[in-house]
Amino acid sequence: MTDTRLPAYATTADTLRADSLAVTPAEMHGLIAGMLSGGLELEDGSWLTMLYDYTHQGMGWPTESKTLAMQSYHQLKAQLTGSDLDLDIYVPDDEQSGVVARAEALVEWINAFLAGVGLIGTKGRTLSKDVTEALGDLKDVAQLGVDEDGDMQEQAELLEQVVEHVRVCSMVVHAELGARPDSDDTPKTLH
């Protein structure tokens, strides 16, 4: 786990809204996770430009929101390149919102993740069966709906299982497509 912690989901949502950005915390986080998992070079600063292009018609973000995006980037980078290979999905927790709001945020995260992978580009790349299946599962889960007339406790438990599946699928994509930091053990080839 990384030491970088994001603020409570509602706090981030308030900041983005106050800065007049039409993006949710789940979308911001999912987009950055998708770019990193799609193979964004870790030291490439172009991710901010892509974030601005995708979310704010190319215009930069105000300082507080940009800081939240930078925190998300650093948290995700540490999680995805660390020895634990862990990934937090940034959606509201149960205490902040109900099952329906969590499910909606998860769908936003997934759609933004898929867009982030697409921004980096999978065209022309041969994807393994595992990655193709993981991306397909994510697209299917993005059709998620909660039965508001059903047992909310049961719906909450099912949602937790779905969140875990999304986390695993995202990590499968990153394991194949995501950029890795250079290791000192890897021999360098000079041409």
pLDDT digits (tens, 9 = 90+) for 48-73: 999 999 999 999 999 999 999 999 99
Q: Please classify residue 178 by burial: count the beta carbons closer than 10 Å to its beta carbon, then call 0-12 exposed, 13-18 middle and 19+ buried.
A: buried
Distances (CA, A) of 133 to 22, 113, 116, 117, 162: 31, 15, 17, 15, 15
Domain assignment present for residue 182? The answer is no
CATH number, domain at 41?
1.20.120.740
State which residues form the domain around 46. Answer: 9-177
State pTM to two decimals.
0.89
**Which tokens is 153 given?**
């406790």
Domain assignment present for residue 61? The answer is yes
Residue 44 phi, psi (nearest 5): -80, 120
Domain assignment present for residue 189? The answer is no
Number of structural domains, the chain? 1
Domain assignment present for residue 191? The answer is no
Domain assignment present for residue 113? The answer is yes
Residue 181 CB coordination number (10 Å): 10
pLDDT tens, position by position, 153-177: 888 899 999 999 999 999 999 999 9
Domain assignment present for residue 81? The answer is yes
